[in-house]
Amino acid sequence: MLEIYLEGHDNYYGIADVMRAFYLRPTEDKDCLRVYCSDAPDMVFCSAVGEDSSSCTSKDGTVSIILPFVTDPVSISREVKRSCYTALSEFLGRKAPWGCLTGIRPTLVAGETGDPQELSEKYFVRQDKAELALKTYANEQKVLSKIPGEDINIYVGIPFCPSRCEYCSFVSSDISHHMDRLGKYLDALEEEIKTVGPVIGRKISTLYLGGGTPTVFNDTDFDRLLDIIYDNLKMDPETEVTVEAGRPDTITEHKLRSMAEHGVRRICINPQTMNSETLARLNRLHSSEDTVRVFEMARKAGFDVINMDLIAGLKYETASDFIDSVNRLIDLHPENITVHTLYKKRRAAISVSDVLTDDNNEVDDAVRKGYGLLDKAGYIPYYMYRQKDTGHGLENTGFALPGTECLYNVAMMTDARDVLSFGAGGMSKRVFGSEGNKYRVERCPCIKDVIGYMNSSREMAERKMRFFGII
């Protein structure tokens, strides 16, 4: 049993995040964190001591780290995590790819340091990850400069899918059990967009229609969805519009034609893997052949920017299966390829061990090899984020052929631009001022429950208008 006691500070969450780099899932208590693990040391103390130092010391005194005393809350949190990470790494003889960096946006810290060597030495980030973070940060900033700070970016969420994938952790419903809700949800979404749209008063820089699976609607209702968006939101030809068409089994020639006629130029077709056997076991209702067929349909319909997602570390796959999927997507030559690492949240059917077990670092090695293949094929990393229970301590990275990067992804992931979200579970954000690369961000969540949203879409609309100061 491992117990960490915090003395002189209350950085519960920071310590818990460091624990995730070594263990499956630490639990939090009021005064301490405990992890039950057979190979763990008996006890580690992490304390802020006296006026001039903080320390992390094992019960038997074999590890003792004295760190400079700091008063800035951010610096204190980082120093506590550094000391905890160092002690655990010494005890267990293991290192995490991202060292003691636990935040969702490692590129922000990379931008602060500006040097991969410093990132490695200060935060114990593995050299290849440090270089990836700096490269991604540089590309990310170039894309961010193309999104005016005075503009608004819009997200429209459709939290429904044709089936629920075994790994799914999003707020989405298996529509096969809720067909009656689609029309009512569309009614509620229309009310919200019609209420807010006319009073936005700002240029719309980007719009992202995501999910779930927006193409889950039948052809007629999908036309209606696009009409609601284009009739009520004042977009111009420069507005970047992306539709996460997503699941190949929901994409029809009619929907592709409708998107093209409305002015959509970017779509996502997301196989997650190009192994048909894995797709069936994950409860996805399409094959890899369907993915290729729909991709070719989209090209014929005139879409010249297509994103495709893959997931590394899927339960039923080997590292070679993932590499095969990377190579098959490169052969298709979509403009964007996003590599996710499987992660676990409470509502997914897969277990924690399904996500995190990788004794021989096969997933880690496969991701590195996949990145190398993408680099060789001309793709550059342009945004990145991490999640707390991502398998193997890895990350999610968006790659693009230069000049085809998705502006919305950068606006959302950097927390550096305003985002107005419509639909259940959406998160609206306002960004205030900037000092260097630092921004103050306020958030306004929309109710997650679909039924609750359908009963309160007008209230949600008014909440967002107050949030953005337009009523």
Residue 181: pLDDT band (50, 70, 90) is: confident
Q: Which of 77-81, 181-185, 340-344 has the lowest mean pLDDT?
A: 340-344
Higher pLDDT, 349 or 360: 360
The Cα angle at residue 266 between residues 265 and 267, in degrees rounded to 5 = 125
Residue 15: pLDDT band (50, 70, 90) is: confident
- Give CA–CA dist 407/409, Å, rounded: 5
Instruction: Note the pLDDT tens digit of each residue in 367-386.
Output: 999 999 999 999 999 999 99
- The per-residue pLDDT for 78 is 83
The answer, yes or no, to whether residue 221 has pLDDT greater than 60, is: yes
The answer, yes or no, to whether residue 390 has pLDDT greater than 80, is: no
- Give CA–CA dist 37/350, Å, rounded: 21
- Give CA–CA dist 224/463, Å, rounded: 25
Other CB atoms within 10 Å distance of the CB of residue 148 = 11
Q: Which of 55-69, 103-117, 228-242 has the lowest mean pLDDT?
A: 55-69
- The per-residue pLDDT for 282 is 85
Other CB atoms within 10 Å distance of the CB of residue 156 = 23
> What is the longest distance spanned by two Cα atoms in the chain?
70
Instruction: Note the pLDDT tens digit of each residue in 412-440.
Output: 999 999 999 999 999 999 998 755 556 78
Average pLDDT of the residues in 59-79? 56
Instruction: Please state whether the predicted TM-score (pTM) of the whole model is above 0.85.
Output: yes
- The per-residue pLDDT for 168 is 72
User: Residues 308-347, buried b or exposed e (16+ Cβ, 10 A)?
Assistant: bbbbbbbbebebebbbbbbebbbebebbbbbbbbbbbeee
Per the omega criterion (within 30 degrees of 0), is the bond before 378 cis? Answer: no
Q: Which of 180-184, 239-243, 369-373 has the lowest mean pLDDT?
A: 180-184
Higher pLDDT, 212 or 411: 411
Domain residue extents for the chain: 2-94, 146-464
* 352 three-class SS: helix
Tally: H helices and E strands in the chain: 16, 19
CATH of domain 146-464: 3.80.30.20
- The per-residue pLDDT for 94 is 85
- The per-residue pLDDT for 443 is 94
Average pLDDT of the residues in 152-170? 83
Higher pLDDT, 328 or 387: 328
Instruction: Note the pLDDT tens digit of each residue in 73-105.
Output: 667 778 888 888 888 888 778 899 999 998 889
Q: Provide the strand spans (E) within 270-426.
A: 305-312, 336-341, 380-385, 396-400, 419-422
The answer, yes or no, to whether residue 214 has pLDDT greater than 60, is: yes
Mean model confidence pLDDT for the chain: 84
First to last CA, the chain: 55
The answer, yes or no, to whether residue 58 has pLDDT greater than 60, is: no
